[in-house]
Amino acid sequence: MNSAIPQSETWSSIHPILYGWSKDKKYQVILQNGQKLLLRISPMSQMERKQKEFAAIQRFNQLPHMMSRAISLGSALWEGEPSVYMLLSWVEGESLEGSFPGLTPRQQYQAGRQAGRILKDFHSLPLETGFAPSPEKKRRSMLDKLEEYKASSHLRIAGDEKIIQFITEHIGLVQQGGLSSCHGDYHPGNLILTPEGGIGVIDFNRCRVGDRAEDFYKLQFFGKECSIPYSVGQIDGYFGGEPQKEFWELLAVYCAWSGLYSVKWAEPFGPSDVSNMIRRRKECLEDYDWFRRISPKWFEESKGAVWRDSL
């Protein structure tokens, strides 16, 4: 290993982390005193983006919740290549996604409620001046990606014209209301069940300023398939009651858009990921009745469930 990262001489060992969809190289670093850190390595071309990401993590770190905490960022020679390094604290525990089989539905729901309260605190943080994209730019980006999907005939689904029409007719809802400091990839795979039974948050590399619904639509594609009680709990914990119609409408737009484009997005990761996203797309269309409804069946059908608190 050829590294110029400051204080790397205090590292006792370093172990690659091979899971996840991030293009960063990730490692668990163990210091000589036994402390664990997370190291992320990115190409030097990503320096400006990583500086913004690091600053965003520092803003999230103003909150008292368990999460990855910013330690240092800089340039270094890594494996012979000029690179950007980011060192973060290590969140001890097990992936919440992998912990669900050992939890009762009630415990899964309570974990979701805690995750929802954390997310609400994230969204309450003041926004960085000038950091938010314009609504026009955001909507255009989504529509451009939808065009990529439409041009990929091998990925299209019969009858998708109805979904495309739903998206284009409702795209004006995007960034129509207030914006929030979003994690950007908030789902059980990026949450940690700590030894104390709390929830820790990791992987802020997709953090952004955007609609709060952007931190909910992955419940449909990743949360719900792990645990419906958790997914319901995240919504209940965030809102403390029935969400307003405006939230459901905007969330439906993001779910419809992601349901189509995510299959195109998965292509570079290989046939297995494409197949999984096709399956999730099918489930999304069923849950939303091809977007003839604005809230998913799994949420509506959970009302009155024995594991769910009265609101």
Residue 68 sits in a domain of what CATH number? 3.30.200.20
- Does residue 181 sit in the same domain as residue 36? no
- Does residue 108 sit in the same domain as residue 143? yes
Number of domains in the chain: 2
The total number of residues shown for the chain amounts to 311
Residue 138 sits in a domain whose CATH number is 3.90.1200.10
Q: Distance between CA 39 and CA 267 in Å, rounded?
A: 27
CA distances from 256 to 48, 116, 120 (A): 32, 22, 23
- Does residue 212 sit in the same domain as residue 229? yes
- Does residue 52 sit in the same domain as residue 101? no
Q: Distance between CA 226 and CA 305 in Å, rounded?
A: 17
- Does residue 181 sit in the same domain as residue 258? yes
Q: Establish if 140 belongs to a structural domain.
A: yes
Residue numbers in the chain where pLDDT is lower than 70: 1-3, 129-132, 311
Report the pLDDT value the prediction gives residue 130, as an integer from 0 to 100.
58
Q: Establish if 201 belongs to a structural domain.
A: yes
pTM, two decimals, is 0.94
- Does residue 158 sit in the same domain as residue 254? yes
- Pick the closest to residue 67 from 239, 256, 202, 189 (CA basis): 202
- Does residue 191 sit in the same domain as residue 129? yes
Report the pLDDT value the prediction gives residue 1, as an integer from 0 to 100.
42
- Domain of residue 124, residue span: 94-300
- Does residue 259 sit in the same domain as residue 273? yes
- Does residue 65 sit in the same domain as residue 179? no
Q: Establish if 305 belongs to a structural domain.
A: no
Report the pLDDT value the prediction gives residue 122, as an integer from 0 to 100.
98
- Does residue 141 sit in the same domain as residue 228? yes
- Does residue 211 sit in the same domain as residue 185? yes
CB-CB contact of 203 with 22 (8 Å): yes
Summarize pLDDT for 152-206 with one digit per residue, the tens.
999 999 999 999 999 999 999 999 988 999 999 999 999 999 999 999 999 999 9
Q: Establish if 112 belongs to a structural domain.
A: yes
Q: Which two tokens stand for residue 209?
A: 């300023």
Average pLDDT of the chain to the nearest whole number? 94
Q: Distance between CA 4 and CA 262 in Å, rounded?
A: 38
Q: Establish if 59 belongs to a structural domain.
A: yes
Q: Establish if 1 belongs to a structural domain.
A: no
Q: Establish if 61 belongs to a structural domain.
A: yes
Q: Establish if 310 belongs to a structural domain.
A: no
- Does residue 128 sit in the same domain as residue 258? yes
